[in-house]
Amino acid sequence: MTMRTDTLPEAMTVSADEEPVSQRKGTRRKTLGKALLLPGQLISVFVLVVPLLVAFYMSFTDWSPTRGALTSARFIGLFNYEELLVYDTRFVEAVLRTLVFAAICLSLEFLIGLGLAVLFLRKFRGKAILFSMLLTPMMVLPVVVGYTFWMLFQSNGPINQLIELAFGAGASPDWFKSALLAQITVIVTEVWHWTPLFFLILLSGLNAVPENPIRAAVILGASPRQVFWRVVLPMLLPVIVIAFVIRAMEIIKLFDEVFMLTRGGPGSSTETISLYIYKLAFNDFQLAYGAAAAFLVLIGTLGLVHLLLTPVRNQLLEARN
């Protein structure tokens, strides 16, 4: 992105302005630019930055709504952080669980999405309508997705009825009573919901892959499989990374669907980071402790995204500029 601030006034001088006038114009431009940015900045500062600073301060205290005003909170240094990382196995488990969910869901979403995108490179009738149909899940709001799958996975729900139809009466499980099965419902729900996003992004990427390198590879004797793995996929890599980063950021915050599906249960077997922080803060009123957990998560996420972005950071920045 270039700074055009100084070049524009000359280019569009309307009349033969005196020097001071055009200088005033330059200043006016800058003022206008700042004025246009101001409302957004104000909102962001008051609604995001201030609360975050408060939360940051709070994370070093033992404050809880039952203990009176925030100003009377006792400063306890890194106690909350130490507690979380060293003693709070539920937090550590929630973090690991969320990461495992993320790894499984993202892999499945990527593989299915890529497979679909590759199928969509072929010629067939009704492609446009099928494309829209396959995108439907990502247009459904998360709460409704969670609710729908909660209903589908009920012990006498349609999924179990189909299972009994196929494998006989008594074959169907009680999805929300077993830790493993409940975890599977979460994964199935997430994969159903967000595979379309991978499909959409990867198909855009595949369609943007230039034709000639592919032809060149074919002429050089590469088999369709070699063309795909050695030429197409590497050229698609930046887009793949972008899709993973976007989805990783979202799935680390996973809340709505799990809230509707399992509330984190049975036990805490499907409890994600967000769900745990929510319970800490709004069920147990340990707001300060929850804030500390949130900052740990933010730091972790930043690190993760930084890592994921490393191979394509420059391309990403160029794409935006």
Partner 1 sequence: MSDRPLTLPLALLLGLVTVVTLFPVFWILMTAIKPPTDWNAVPAIWVPSEPTLVNFQTLFDPEALGVYGVGGVSEAATQAVFGSLLASIVATALSVGIGLAAAIALSRYSGGGRATPLIILSGRMFPPAAIAVPFVIIFSTIGLIDTYFGLIAIYIAVTLPFSTWMLKSFVDEVPKEVEEAAMLDGLTRVRAHLTVTIPLIKGGLFATTLFIFILNWSEFLFALVLSYTTIETIPVRLAKYVTATAGTLYGVQAALAVLAMVPLVIAGFLIQNHLARGMTFGAVKR
Partner 2 sequence: MTRHKLELIGLRKEYDDGNVVAVDGIDLAVESGETIALLGPSGCGKSTTLNMIVGLEEPTGGDIHIDGKSVVGRPPGKRNIGLVFQDYAVFTHMTVAKNLSFGLEVSGLPRSEINRRVGEAAELLGLTDLLQEKATRLGGSQLQRVAIGRTLVTKPAILLLDEPLSNLEAEARQAMRNELRRLQNEIGLTIVYVTHDQTEALSLANRIAVMSAGKIRQFDASGTVYNEPAHTFVASFLGSPAMNLVRGELRRDGQALAFKSGALTVPLPARFDAMAPADQAPVTLGIRPENLRIGQPGDSGLISTVSVVEPRGPEAALTVEAANTDFAVVVPSAARPEPGEEVSLQFPEDSLVLFSGETDRNLALPHNVEEAA
Task: Give the total of residues touching partner 1 (CB under 8 A).
Answer: 114
Residue 222 main-chain phi, psi, to 5 deg: -75, 140
As beta bridge partners, residue 75 has 61
> Residue 36, interface with partner 1 (CB under 8 A)?
yes
Pick what 95 binds: partner 2, partner 1, none; C-beta below 5 to 8 Å, kind-dependent: none
Q: What's at 222, amino acid-wise?
A: A
Which is closer to partner 2, CB of 152 or CB of 235?
235
- Angle, alpha carbons 114-115-121 (nearest 5°): 90
Pick what 217 binds: partner 2, partner 1, none; C-beta below 5 to 8 Å, kind-dependent: partner 2
Instruction: Figure out which of the listed residues 37, 42, 220, 307 binds partner 2, where binding follows CB under 8 A.
Output: 220
Q: Which of residues 112-141 bind partner 1 (CB under 8 A)?
A: 112, 116, 119, 121-124, 130, 132-141
The Cα 148–Cα 168 span in angstroms is 25
Which is closer to partner 2, CB of 240 or CB of 252?
240
Q: Which two tokens stand for residue 305?
A: 């995204």
> Residue 319, interface with partner 2 (CB under 8 A)?
no
The least CB distance from residue 73 to partner 1, in Å, is 10
Per-residue contact string for residues 195-214; x = within reach of partner 2 by CB under 8 A: ---------------x-xx-
Instruction: Figure out which of the listed residues 27, 44, 178, 223 binds partner 1, where binding follows CB under 8 A.
Output: 44
Torsion region of 27: left, alpha or beta (phi above 0 gives left; psi -120 to 50 gives alpha):
alpha
Close Cβ partners of 301 (under 8 Å, ≥ 6 residues apart)? 249, 252
Instruction: Figure out which of the listed residues 102, 106, 159, 231 binds partner 2, where binding follows CB under 8 A.
Output: 231
The Cα 134–Cα 197 span in angstroms is 10
> Residue 42, interface with partner 2 (CB under 8 A)?
no
Residue 5, CB-side half-sphere exposure with 13 Å CA sphere: 12
Q: Is the dihedral of CA 77, 82, 88, 90 positive or negative?
A: positive
Residue 232, CB-side half-sphere exposure with 13 Å CA sphere: 22
Q: Which of residues 232-251 bind partner 2 (CB under 8 A)?
A: 234-235, 237
Per-residue contact string for residues 187-206; x = within reach of partner 1 by CB under 8 A: -----x---xx--xx--xxx
